[in-house]
Amino acid sequence: MTETKTKTPVPGWYGSIPSDSQPEDPYSGYRELRETQPVNLTPEGQWRLSRYEDVRSVLRSHGAGMRQTNGMLPGQTVEEPGRGQFMLLQDPPTHTRLRKLVSKAFTPRAIEGWRPRIQAVTDDLLDRVADRGEMDLVADLARPVPATLICEMLGIPPEDQETFTNWTADATHGLLTVRGIGDDALRARVDSAASNLIGYFQNLIDARRKNLGDDLLSVLITAEEEGDRLDPLELLSNSVGLLIAGFETTIGLIGNGLTTLIKHPEELARLREHPEWIVSAVEECLRYSGPILASVRVLHEPHTFGGYEIPKDSEVIAMLAAGNRDPEVFDDPERFDVSRYARELSVPDHLSFGGGAHLCLGAHLARLESQIAIGTLVQRFDDLELVNDETEWGLSLFRVPGRIPIRFRANKPASSAA
């Protein structure tokens, strides 16, 4: 039998170099990487996959997960009690068990019940700025929509939302520090934010146990499946984790989506003419300018991609944004088209919500919030104009704008825009 010879990698960045700041256009670098080195070993020892089929394969693979085969997260030398307990950082069977207990609150039916509230919040926010003719898309819409909803879902009082916004932004970077990435200052900021969130949630959980309601936190407290329940640490970790996971990425989706639409006035006009395309438009925003550019997996067994054998326990960076613009999969992938997912022809799913066991639990909520926020603004406000040519990015682990000042002309009151 002929033995298959594997290729020897030549480490390099190949046009796509990591940066501490968000580049305005990372996609040209992703295109070069995908075209010249689609299976890439970086100079830092991580592997990157940039073709759609390779990315989808590693996301869906049972032979890959979040932890090494010794049970540790990459970068960890010892298991730290209480760190990395959120289900996003777990592998089966622990992940399967936790997700099953939590998922009841995130079914499409459960999320659809929030539609009237999301619409009311959006209308109120736009009412506040309609007469000004200018607004910050982040501060006035993209941040308060998911902040209000996730806080209301968890039963957190409105007066605490601003504080939660700051804590959550800092705590999000904990996804890096549990992997041993980042300096002492970042870790201190993460630890402080996490400590504040944990203390707040512990008090909230204690109060809710005595007076259960219909909020998400009460659902988590009472969640039970086949006699199994969340223990106190799991309840606390996953309450904090759900807040973090359901917050910043949706800010990025709404903010990036509206920015992309404004930069493509022909597509904005098409969406305004066909408001029924809003579902398709949000999917295209996720494909074209989604807030999560890449996702990390750890191989639990050796795997060959493109002739390169990647060893067990290797970290593999699945380049979601690169795969989302793969011309082998998407027709004219560099073109932003709000009707792409509204056609009768079958269009491949984008990769922006991940895949496999870790497919984003909050995908239905993020979609609905974005469809209502983006769709309502587009119908109510005309002559949308970005004040700045380049985006002012926030201090986020994800691709999340910090400010997006715009000018506009209001044309419809809330009552006729719904």
β-strands 303-305, 308-310: how paired? Answer: antiparallel
Mean of the pLDDT values across residues 132-153?
A: 93
Using pLDDT thresholds of 50, 70 and 90, give the confidence band for residue 163.
confident
Cα–Cα distance, 390 to 404 (Å, whole number): 9
Instruction: Tell whether the torsion through CA atoms of 102, 105, 109 and 112 is positive or negative.
Output: negative
Summarize pLDDT for 339-394 with one digit per residue, the tens.
Answer: 999 976 689 999 999 998 888 989 999 999 999 999 999 999 999 999 998 999 98
Long-range contacts of 382-391 (CB under 8 A, 24+ apart): 382/408, 382/409, 382/410, 382/411, 383/407, 383/408, 383/409, 384/258, 384/261, 384/262, 384/268, 384/408, 385/262, 386/259, 386/262, 386/263, 387/134, 390/24, 391/22, 391/24, 391/259
Peptide bond into 74 cis (omega under 30): no
CATH code for residues 27-67+87-417: 1.10.630.10
pLDDT of 264 strictly over 90: yes
Show me where the domains of the chain are located.
Answer: 27-67+87-417
Q: Which of 94-98, 127-131, 149-153 has the highest mean pLDDT?
A: 127-131
CA 299, CA 356: separation in Å to the nearest integer? 14
What pTM did the predictor assign? 0.91
pLDDT exceeds 60 at position 237: yes
Q: In the prediction, which pLDDT does 57 show?
A: 95
Q: What is the mean pLDDT of the chain?
A: 88
Asked if pLDDT for residue 165 goes beyond 70, the answer is yes
Chain segment 89-103, per-residue pLDDT in tens? 888 888 888 888 888
Q: Is the pLDDT of residue 2 over 80?
A: no
What pLDDT was estimated at residue 278? 98
pLDDT above 60: residue 418: no
For 103, counting Cβ atoms within 10 Å of its Cβ (0-12 exposed, 13-18 middle, 19+ buried), the class is middle
Short-list 132, 366, 412, 405, CA closest to 272 = 412
List the structure tokens of 13. 């960045």
